[in-house]
Amino acid sequence: TGRRLAVPSTRDEIAALGATLNGLLARLQEALERERGFVADAGHELRTPLAILRTELELAARPGRSWEELVEAVSHAGNETDRLIRLAEDLLLLARADNAQTFLRPGPLALPDLLATAARGARTRAAERGVSVVVHSPSPLSVAADPDRLRQAVDNLLDNATRHAPAGSVVEITATSSPTGTVTVEVADRGPGFPEEFLPHAFERFHRAETARTRDGGGTGLGLSILQAIAQAHGGQATARNRSGGGAAVTLELPTDAAPDHPQHRSCT
């Protein structure tokens, strides 16, 4: 707890100013603590793959390795390196997303085509487990957004959905446009859904619902925060809920005239 101004008990401008400044100090402190937590989490996430990488390299360098052992160690080291690269890319993206002006390269894009391509990409992996991916999208549906970022947001959702979807189930991508000038993309699955207590934290960086941080069981917990950063940079928002009948549904909502850095959407925390 930081130091605060002693606010006089008078009800004048000085008291009001004191209270305002204290509020500002409290918010600054919160922001600082959040950043500190983020750096600590990032450090933690970097440490594990780096430690594994080091072990694998040590194994590979030991005298008397057979060719097979060598190949295996190097291939494991390669996997961990890939993980580190992904992590670095995710962290860079989150850092850059704060500035929508330079982060986004918006242009008109055909949303149904983008969703169809994303679905095709996800099917390869989903099909191994008998999970199908279907797209419901009204055909003329265009939105001014950054196509690459939008694709990345949808890919993150599809990755989550197909990972949690039970064998033989259907993952649904649904695009809708509302007369109020928003376009909504929802990815829904029939998996276990989100634990209720996790929902308020779903978009926090590094937050995961599964407690076990297994090596290959899941990701780093950045996918949904990246989705939210992309949504907010467009002046939109992301929401997560559980479906009636079971399963998770995550929605990305974008204004049809998505203007980057729209003043009313910038939060000042």
Ligand X SMILES: Nc1ncnc2c1ncn2[C@@H]1O[C@H](COP(=O)(O)OP(=O)(O)OP(=O)(O)O)[C@@H](O)[C@H]1O
Binding footprint of ligand X on the chain (CB under 6 A): 156, 160-161, 164, 189, 191-194, 202, 207-210, 218-224, 248
Confirm if 206 and 41 have CB atoms less than 8 A apart: yes
Structure tokens at 150: 């939008």
Place of tokens 């990972």: 163
Our finding on whether 147 is near Mg ion (CB under 5 A) is no
Under the criterion CB under 5 A, does residue 228 sit at the interface with Mg ion? no
Q: Which does 125 bind (CB under 5 to 8 A by kind): ligand X, Mg ion, none?
A: none
The entry of ligand X, Mg ion, none near residue 208 (CB within 5 to 8 angstroms by kind) is ligand X
The residue number whose beta carbon is nearest to ligand X equals 219
- Distances 181 to 104, 144, 176, 257 between C-alpha atoms, Å: 20, 12, 11, 7
Contact window for Mg ion (CB under 5 A) among 41-49, 69-77, 155-163, 231-239:
155-163
Listed residue (159, 175, 172, 183) closest to 237, CA to CA:
183
Stretch that binds Mg ion, among 55-63, 165-173, 176-184, 223-231 (CB under 5 A): 223-231
Q: Which partner in Mg ion, ligand X, none is near 210 (CB below 5 to 8 A by kind)?
A: ligand X
According to CB under 5 A, which one of 53, 56, 118, 160 is a site residue for Mg ion? 160
Q: Which of 219, 237, 239, 241 is in the footprint of Mg ion by CB under 5 A?
A: 219
**How many Cα neighbours within 13 Å face the side chain of 203?**
18
CB of 50 to ligand X, least distance (A): 17
| CB closer to ligand X out of 62 and 129 | 129
Amino acid at 44: H
By CB under 5 A, residue 223 contacts Mg ion? yes
Q: Measured from the CB atom, is 179 or 245 closer to ligand X?
A: 245
What does the chain come to in residues? 269
Q: Report the distance separating Cα 153 and Cα 118, nearest Å.
A: 10
* Residue number, 208 or 234, with CB nearest to ligand X: 208
Task: Measure the CA–CA gap between 90 and 41, rounded to whole angstroms.
Answer: 13
In the bound state with Mg ion, the residue whose beta carbon lies nearer, of 112 and 219, is 219
Angle subtended by helix axes 147-164 and 223-233, to nearest 10: 150
103 binds, among Mg ion, ligand X, none (CB under 5 to 8 A by kind): none
Contact 84, 52 (CB under 8 A): no
171 interacts with, out of ligand X, Mg ion, none, CB within 5 to 8 A per kind: none
**Alpha helices for 110-267 (secondary structure H):** 111-127, 147-164, 223-233
Report yes or no: 89 and 46 within 8 Å, Cβ to Cβ. no
Which residues are near Mg ion by CB under 5 A? 160, 219, 223
